[in-house]
Structure 1
Amino acid sequence: MSEQIRPSFSQNAIKVLERRYLLKDEKGNLIETPENMLWRVARAVAKAEGSFGDEGSEKEWAERFFGMMARLDFLPNSPTLMNAGTSAGQLSACFVLPIGDSMEEIFDALKYTALVHKSGGGTGFNFSSLRPYGDIVKSTKGVASGPVSFMELFDHTTDVVKQGGMRRGANMGILNADHPDVVKFIKAKVEEGKLRNFNISIGVTQKFMRAILNDEDWDLINPRTKEVVDRIKALYLFDLICEMAWKTGDPGMIFLDKIEASNPTPHLGSIVATNPCGEQPLLPFESCNLGSINLSNMILSNREIDWDKLEQTTRMAVRFLDDVIEINQFPIKEIADRTKTTRKIGLGVMGWADVLFKARIPYDSEDALELARQVMCFISKIGHEESSKLAEERGPFPAWKGSKWEESGILMRNATVTTIAPTGTISLIAEVSSGIEPVFALAYKRKAFGGSASLTYVNEILLDALKEEGLYTEELIEEILTKGSLRDLDLPEDIKKVFVTAHDIVPEWHVRMQAAFQEFTDNAVSKTINLPHDASVEDVKKSFLLAYELGCKGITIFRDRCKEDQVLYVGAKQETGKESDKITVMSVVEQGYVKPKKRPPVLSGKTVKIGTSYGNLYLTLNFIDGQPFEVFATLGKSGKDTQAHTEALGRLISLALRSGIPIDEIIKQLKGIGGSTPFLEGDSLILSLPDAIARGLEKALGKLVEVQERGDMCPVCGAPLIHAEGCERCISCDYCKCD
């Protein structure tokens, strides 16, 4: 019986659950255990069974659902784990909202966005119905500000409305390739920190892709008048998309015709938008609840897939997700009505890279692609069978009549069944690889929760393989930590081919893996095509074209460390003329050497005290002519090394100030840097010594400096972020931007 199953979570998984999922009282004290949480979710979801007329089965299904989650064979999306069985009760992760061209429609959408983000969901929009910049607004005799301007409004609202725990709202912004503001949209994220709560994508069709390949002209059409207002080269537009994606990771591409071709309910409207990570195309006001099967638990000791267990898990997961719709408390009536009309669910997978490690199959191989097709084809087949069975028991989704399912003569409970979604946080809980992504590191150091120590983590499957082959040594583990990969190590080739990381794999194989899963997925596939730092714009072009050719519904690329280049762009200007229209880099100092100003004999200033985990920081900021000129920083009690670091930071800041660098820019660079021993001073959390110096400078200035979230840096612990599944995730703590 499931009552006897006890969930087995690692210590780090428990900390993730404690920080984000387990219920707390008004004072922030935990009031449930991980096991209690699973029972809360299982019992809440099983209540749906009673609503279908069999109240006696609620207990039985609650036990089954609990067992499935306790074994970590399946986990639902984060809002379900957080909110099921609570007063919040909003259980879906994905939403798409319509954007109309009137001020009333725009601000209605803004209100709905705030409500969805407050409830824990992410939102997607297509802004193509908005009239372009400079177009006429008859009611005011003025001119329109255009889609990008309104996106900034949505972006700011997302900042203001925080979601539960560490989650912030995430958005997808799409603009069709024929919109007159498309060039402005493509460049929207070149300025660092702009639209930071948005993933952006260009909506394209086969007509546009043909125009690229044939080097044809491309019409830009005013959505208000439906008239052609400009004509540019399609290839120029594509080149610009690829150049900006190379620089910043945005925009991606959404293949609208491929999405519409698999729209199960075209009689309800066309699909023109997706959720934030692109895996869930939805009609306006639709939502979808997601869940993922842990494939790592579906492989036997003989390295074969346990098809019986996979079938049982798939059937139970489909029923679970359908039940979620019944008990879901939707944020607005329009979403409730549309969701219940189509009853879309999104069953996906996690732990795929672990499966390939266990089966000793290289990720970048035809064998891996074939196994991917077999696994996803099986899940799709069984999932559709179970949805059809539920339709016979409970009735089909209300929009079934007139749908493609009716045309095929198949009764279905759910308009869609499968989705490959991001699994950032739930894969941390299950301690498996994320979604269908390759692993990002085989060994790494991770901050220990609740302490200052760093723990070394080595992939357990790799460890077992090394021990089996008699290759394991402590020295080898240190080498793997240093190199980050097996690629350049003196190891057997078969081991090196199997145990690859994301950056060992050339972009083509990333795209091919996404396409293999897409072949048997109703909705879409969330995956990031990782490119090495030295990849070219041409590599981006090849990836985009291959994704379209292989039948993907969208594509997101991310070039390693591209955001590091971005800080070099302190200003940008647009050259005129159709041929160029390129970004010109403008440096702070055009040429020559900046000589620091000399220090006068006497200066006056202000000294402040800031508490840190190393003792009190005493910081003196001196001024000349009312402007900050130099800094002295000392620690009240600390070791010699820490004091030396503090003095060094003070000297470097002084050098920067005397060289004309604005103090606000210095504060922005230091503020928010995470450390191993944060310190709570009053209501402020001092993250590290650099963070303390930044806050001391603010105190001495008598003002706060607004700091944008750092691209590529975790806002919780300051460690580097990885880009996977169309999202950002920290491998050092439990932060994930989208999940």
Structure 2
Amino acid sequence: MHTETGRSKSVPEGTTKEAVTDPASSNTTLAATAPGQIRVIKRNGTVVPYADSKISVAVTKAFLAVEGGTAAASSRIHERVAELVSHISATFKRRMPSGGTIHIEEIQDQVELELMRAGEHKIARDYVLYREEHARLRAEKEKQEPVAEQVAEAHPNIRVKVEDGTKEGKLVPLDMERLRTIVSEACEGLTDVKGELILSEALKNLYDGVSENDINTALVITARTLVEQEPNYTYATAFLLLDKLRAEALRFLGVAESATQKEMETLYKPALAAYVEKGIELELLDPALKSFDLEMLGDAIKPECDHQFTYLGLQTLYDRYFLHSDEVRFELPQLFFMRVAMGLAINEDKPNERAIEFYELLSSFDYMSSTPTLFNAGTLRPQLSSCYLTTVPDDLHGIYGAIQDNAMLSKWAGGLGNDWTPVRSLGSYIKGTNGKSQGVVPFLKVANDTAVAVNQGGKRKGAVCAYLETWHLDIEEFLELRKNTGDDRRRTHDMNTANWVPDLFMKRVFEDKEWTLFSPADCPDLHDLFGDAFEERFTHYEKLAAEGKLKLHKKVRAVDLWRKMLGMLFETGHPWITFKDACNLRSPQQHAGVVHSSNLCTEITLNTKANDEIAVCNLGSVNLSQHIGEDGKLDMGKLESTVKTAVRMLDNVIDINYYSVETARQSNMRHRPVGLGLMGFQDALYKAGISYSSDEAVQFADTTMEAISYYAISTSSDLAAERGSYGSYEGSLWSQGILPIDSIEVLAKNRGEKFIEQDTSTTLEWDVVRKKVASQGMRNSNVMAIAPTATIANITGVSQSIEPTYQNLYVKSNLSGEFTVVNPYLVHDLKARGLWDKVMVNDLKYYEGSVQKIERVPADLKAKYATAFEVEPRWIVDAASRRQKWIDQAQSLNLYIAGANGKKLDLTYRMAWYRGLKTTYYLRALAATSTEKSTVTGGTLNAVSAGGGAPAAGVSPAPQASAPQEPAPAAVPAACSLDDPDCEACQ
């Protein structure tokens, strides 16, 4: 016998029917309720107060029906039910702190979700099947006429409350015809999406006196709950949400009270003119936008592009990107893209034509600019750049000057990478005071607190990463900065950290030799040396130390320090491991300076110099999945067109950008670096029918990145012919005819052939590009970098960056509630084989998005849809190595390691160096004891939180290191997401 919250049914002998009926059991209309009270809409349209007791009784009966009523079971059932009901009630109170209405089905959905999260899988499974069966029985009883008509007839007197300037408002009849139109538009062209189902279910949530806003909410929530049945409902949900956004924006702009999507075909044009006028009036938009031909641009707007948004994508834009005044968003999606396009075309010779070109690229989702560009293009303060890199000098005035630079750059939403290696170590002599230094750590604490205080203009947390070279005498304390134990004055809980590792150290690790730590006060030139020059000078200082001529130093076993680096990375998530020599020896700009660090997300490798060079990079990403044809092959023609426009847009950023620090402006104008990357790599693999864990995927990574590199370098050279080469071009690797693919030989020569294995094969006519660069020069010192694409991937509805799929199905939580995100490619393939049903959904929830243990899923689909922790790290590293050979900067590379232990971490990171990678990013580890269900949430089903990560106990990755107990792997966000937007500093 199964029970279900909110339904009448037969019950076991000895129980009362009342115990398992609707929590809202009255058929009378709702009397006046207290402010803040939650109300429940029954299936017959009546509204009654929400009551915990009704849910408690129903859930108890559900347990009793499955487990029986023995004395032993009773105590457990009572405690579990109380806990579950408390969670359910808290969920609804969190969603509706001021009160509101929910449908009986929503309560049942939440009961099902809480049962799953609590691990009561048998009860939840029976509960799902029971609900499905009763839904079928109800459907059989319905008449032949459309369900929507039945419900409409059951609600003949629904009136809608609209604002009329009075406190009470006025009541007008529900416009059923408009509702049908909106739902029909939302479902147009979508496979397996039933508008009538959305409408009928939404109508059940309506009552006499419902507000206009609540009507839209009912439609959105209804469509959203159907996503786990069919992923295409996410597009319908987005379109229904858009109806609300249109009304909000158009009313504010004075264009219309509301509009259907069909009406937007004529309204977008006047809306653009009104939007520009209003934005300038509110001092939010640059008055220069009025110089554009708004008639021409209005004609170019494509309302049909609104159909591309997923619900998460549109909600992301609405919550974080659209311009607003007094919390009223007056941007619409196509106005937003046109604003960004106009902002980037403002200095072009033919600004209108270029704005249309840029708009078409953005609105098609073929390419997306980075978050700062989307935030600020076309505004009065166009801070469009993503990343800033600085070197901190070894004097008090310079240190605090660098921290002030951090504050100013952070204020305007820049992500920061600070090179702290020049700062003298603990115990170093201070000539001015005849004292001894406290080392670099106290200053890092100040930098950490500055990032907290200057929280990117009040929009999000400050984001900074500190880099230190592995020979610095403070390196061991640096490794512990993120620990939760020890002296808190020497901890930086809010700042990222990264190791800047020379090749010589890695060689010593491989050869199990000693390593020496120095203070930069005694050997300052090591900071600016790399390759053979560094090795020669480092061994010279070691000789001086051995002779007693350099007293402040420390000898350590290289392998022991390496293990500590890996151990802290596993335990705290930091410091990340990045490689100094690969970044410098393959840098096109080694003639003009030294790369001393990367940025916040480890993909930028540009020169910095204290008091002189603050490196700046401007980012954007090609949506790779949009460039895969119906045949599963890369569309080279489309990719070439996309890259040509994208590089031009990125180059424009440099001249338009607002620079809060003059040194940054000078550096950016001198070198003009940009970072074209990609996103949607996993989606592209799905479209090509390739498993991430395969040689084919590694080759696909190679082929696609080669094409992007080929067209990006060629385009930058063409821009140089049009606009002139960047200022420091002469002497660069470009000017010597050495392209990124050629620089691998430089790295191998310095490192030694036995310490590198990196593929150097090519498929395109690279001599053509070499000749073009030799003839025309380069507009940009650096052209490519693969960033995390945190929120722009959400906007475009694709997988982030080069990441494997994290989970095929998960429940996402935000202030709007909990809703399901499901892999549409998996659903499509399962449907094609007749395997997609509610039981499959339930199984995916139980196994937290993994298909590996679901017996009826075929082996080929298990391989294709393996999730991140089911992909062996070697495939991720090999694919990254193939990409790296084409990239003049680096890539944000997260490493996923299941069953993590010391040996796995050691092998993975040695392999990353050996394969020629320049940098790595987060380590996302599952300890060996927490891989039973392939979960990173320690048994909390489908929980997605800002903390994410892996709280389950694990094993130490450094078994030789002494520790009082085995640490857990660091809690790392499952993905840069709407709930955890720290990575927005990059994208």
Question: TM-score, normalised to structure 2's length?
Answer: 0.57
3-state DSSP of counterpart to 2:352: helix
Hey, which of these two has a bigger chunk of strand by percent? 1
Choose which of 466, 469, 491 in structure 1 pairs with 2:833: 469
Greater shift in the superposed pair: 552-561 or 128-137: 552-561
Aligned to 1:145: 438
C-alpha distance after superposition, 1:225-271 (max 9, x if no partner) = 22641211111111111111121222221111100012212222110
Aligned to 2:467: 174
Quick one: structure 1 residues 29 and 471, their matched pair in 2 at CA, closer, same or farther if it must change by over 3 Å?
Answer: same
Q: Is the aligned partner of 1:11 residue 2:258?
A: no
Q: When the two structures are aligned, how many residues end up with a matched partner?
A: 586
C-alpha distance after superposition, 1:405-431 (max 9, x if no partner) = 112236100111111111110000001
Choose which of 854, 859, 869 in structure 2 pairs with 1:493: 859
3-state DSSP of counterpart to 2:362: helix
Aligned to 2:91: none
Please give the alpha-carbon distance, in whole angstroms, between the structure 1 residues aligned to 2:617 and 2:343: 18
Please give the alpha-carbon distance, in whole angstroms, between the structure 2 residues aligned to 1:568 and 1:477: 29
C-alpha distance after superposition, 1:151-197 (max 9, x if no partner) = 11100000001114642221121111111111111122222694233
C-alpha distance after superposition, 1:608-639 (max 9, x if no partner) = xxxxxxxxxxxxxxxxxxxxxxxxxxxxxxxx
Kindly state the Cα deviation for residue 75 of structure 1 after the two structures are TM-superposed.
0.6
* Contact 2:469 2:475 survives alignment (8 Å): yes
* Contact 1:205 1:257 survives alignment (8 Å): yes
% identity of equivalent residues = 30
The structure number with the bigger radius of gyration is 2
Aligned to 2:803: 437
Aligned to 1:326: 655
* Contact 1:248 1:566 survives alignment (8 Å): no
Greater shift in the superposed pair: 476-485 or 165-174: 165-174
Q: Is the aligned partner of 1:730 residue 2:730?
A: no
C-alpha distance after superposition, 1:549-572 (max 9, x if no partner) = 111001232213599888999xxx
Aligned to 2:371: 78
Aligned to 1:279: 603
* Contact 1:74 1:313 survives alignment (8 Å): yes
Kindly state the Cα deviation for residue 470 of structure 1 after the two structures are TM-superposed.
2.3
Aligned to 1:342: 671
Cα RMSD of the aligned pairs, angstroms, is 2.4
Aligned to 2:869: 503
* Contact 2:387 2:599 survives alignment (8 Å): yes
Aligned to 1:268: 592
3-state DSSP of counterpart to 1:274: coil
3-state DSSP of counterpart to 2:391: coil
Aligned to 2:644: 315
Amino acid at match of 1:116: L
Choose which of 886, 891, 903 in structure 2 pairs with 1:520: 886
> Within 5 A, what are the aligned runs for 1:96-135?
96-135=389-428
Greater shift in the superposed pair: 239-248 or 102-111: 239-248
Quick one: structure 1 residues 5 and 414, their matched pair in 2 at CA, closer, same or farther if it must change by over 3 Å?
Answer: farther
3-state DSSP of counterpart to 1:311: helix
Aligned to 1:691: none
Choose which of 23, 29, 32 in structure 1 pairs with 2:323: 23
Please give the alpha-carbon distance, in whole angstroms, between the structure 1 residues aligned to 2:382 and 2:951: 41
Quick one: structure 1 residues 733 and 198, their matched pair in 2 at CA, closer, same or farther if it must change by over 3 Å?
Answer: closer
Aligned to 1:593: none
Question: TM-score, normalised to structure 1's length?
Answer: 0.76
Please give the alpha-carbon distance, in whole angstroms, between the structure 2 residues aligned to 1:348 and 1:314: 10
* Contact 2:725 2:780 survives alignment (8 Å): yes
Please give the alpha-carbon distance, in whole angstroms, between the structure 2 residues aligned to 1:736 and 1:501: 21
Choose which of 819, 831, 834 in structure 2 pairs with 1:455: 819
Please give the alpha-carbon distance, in whole angstroms, between the structure 2 residues aligned to 1:566 and 1:198: 20
Kindly state the Cα deviation for residue 537 of structure 1 after the two structures are TM-superposed.
1.5
Kindly state the Cα deviation for residue 583 of structure 1 after the two structures are TM-superposed.
4.5
* Contact 1:289 1:324 survives alignment (8 Å): yes
Aligned to 2:700: 371
C-alpha distance after superposition, 1:489-545 (max 9, x if no partner) = 12111111011110111222221222122121111010110112x310211111110
Aligned to 1:251: 575
Amino acid at match of 2:361: M
> Within 5 A, what are the aligned runs for 1:357-436?
357-408=686-737, 409=774, 411-436=777-802
Please give the alpha-carbon distance, in whole angstroms, between the structure 2 residues aligned to 1:24 and 1:17: 12
Please give the alpha-carbon distance, in whole angstroms, between the structure 2 residues aligned to 1:580 and 1:235: 10
Choose which of 191, 195, 199 in structure 1 pairs with 2:492: 195
Amino acid at match of 2:669: K
* Contact 1:722 1:731 survives alignment (8 Å): no
Choose which of 548, 564, 585 in structure 1 pairs with 2:913: 548
3-state DSSP of counterpart to 1:435: coil
Q: Is the aligned partner of 1:38 residue 2:337?
A: yes
* Contact 1:208 1:218 survives alignment (8 Å): yes
Choose which of 458, 477, 482 in structure 2 pairs with 1:184: 477
Please give the alpha-carbon distance, in whole angstroms, between the structure 1 residues aligned to 2:615 and 2:510: 35
* Contact 1:167 1:736 survives alignment (8 Å): no
* Contact 1:264 1:403 survives alignment (8 Å): yes
Please give the alpha-carbon distance, in whole angstroms, between the structure 1 residues aligned to 2:910 and 2:711: 32
* Contact 1:73 1:294 survives alignment (8 Å): yes
Choose which of 819, 843, 859 in structure 2 pairs with 1:479: 843
Kindly state the Cα deviation for residue 308 of structure 1 after the two structures are TM-superposed.
1.2
3-state DSSP of counterpart to 2:324: coil
Quick one: structure 1 residues 67 and 114, their matched pair in 2 at CA, closer, same or farther if it must change by over 3 Å?
Answer: same
* Contact 1:2 1:64 survives alignment (8 Å): no
Kindly state the Cα deviation for residue 345 of structure 1 after the two structures are TM-superposed.
0.6
Kindly state the Cα deviation for residue 63 of structure 1 after the two structures are TM-superposed.
0.4
Amino acid at match of 2:406: T
3-state DSSP of counterpart to 2:353: helix
Please give the alpha-carbon distance, in whole angstroms, between the structure 1 residues aligned to 2:483 and 2:800: 28
Amino acid at match of 1:142: G
3-state DSSP of counterpart to 1:266: coil
* Contact 2:702 2:879 survives alignment (8 Å): no
3-state DSSP of counterpart to 1:293: strand
C-alpha distance after superposition, 1:76-120 (max 9, x if no partner) = 110000011112211111110110010000000000000111111
Please give the alpha-carbon distance, in whole angstroms, between the structure 1 residues aligned to 2:464 and 2:590: 24
Please give the alpha-carbon distance, in whole angstroms, between the structure 2 residues aligned to 1:480 and 1:269: 52
Q: Is the aligned partner of 1:225 residue 2:522?
A: yes
Please give the alpha-carbon distance, in whole angstroms, between the structure 1 residues aligned to 2:515 and 2:810: 48
Quick one: structure 1 residues 213 and 159, their matched pair in 2 at CA, closer, same or farther if it must change by over 3 Å?
Answer: same
Greater shift in the superposed pair: 461-470 or 65-74: 461-470
Please give the alpha-carbon distance, in whole angstroms, between the structure 2 residues aligned to 1:3 and 1:18: 19
Please give the alpha-carbon distance, in whole angstroms, between the structure 1 residues aligned to 2:504 and 2:670: 32
* Contact 1:78 1:426 survives alignment (8 Å): yes
Aligned to 2:347: 48
Q: Is the aligned partner of 1:92 residue 2:385?
A: yes
Please give the alpha-carbon distance, in whole angstroms, between the structure 1 residues aligned to 2:953 and 2:900: 18
Q: Unpaired segments of 5 or more residues in structure 1?
A: 570-578, 588-710, 714-720, 724-728
Please give the alpha-carbon distance, in whole angstroms, between the structure 1 residues aligned to 2:953 and 2:859: 40
Aligned to 1:238: 562
Amino acid at match of 1:500: A
3-state DSSP of counterpart to 1:135: strand
Quick one: structure 1 residues 261 and 586, their matched pair in 2 at CA, closer, same or farther if it must change by over 3 Å?
Answer: closer
Please give the alpha-carbon distance, in whole angstroms, between the structure 2 residues aligned to 1:245 and 1:58: 48
Amino acid at match of 1:722: A
Quick one: structure 1 residues 547 and 264, their matched pair in 2 at CA, closer, same or farther if it must change by over 3 Å?
Answer: same
Kindly state the Cα deviation for residue 368 of structure 1 after the two structures are TM-superposed.
0.4
Amino acid at match of 2:850: S
3-state DSSP of counterpart to 2:920: strand
3-state DSSP of counterpart to 1:200: strand
C-alpha distance after superposition, 1:50-79 (max 9, x if no partner) = xxxx2xx11011001001110111111100
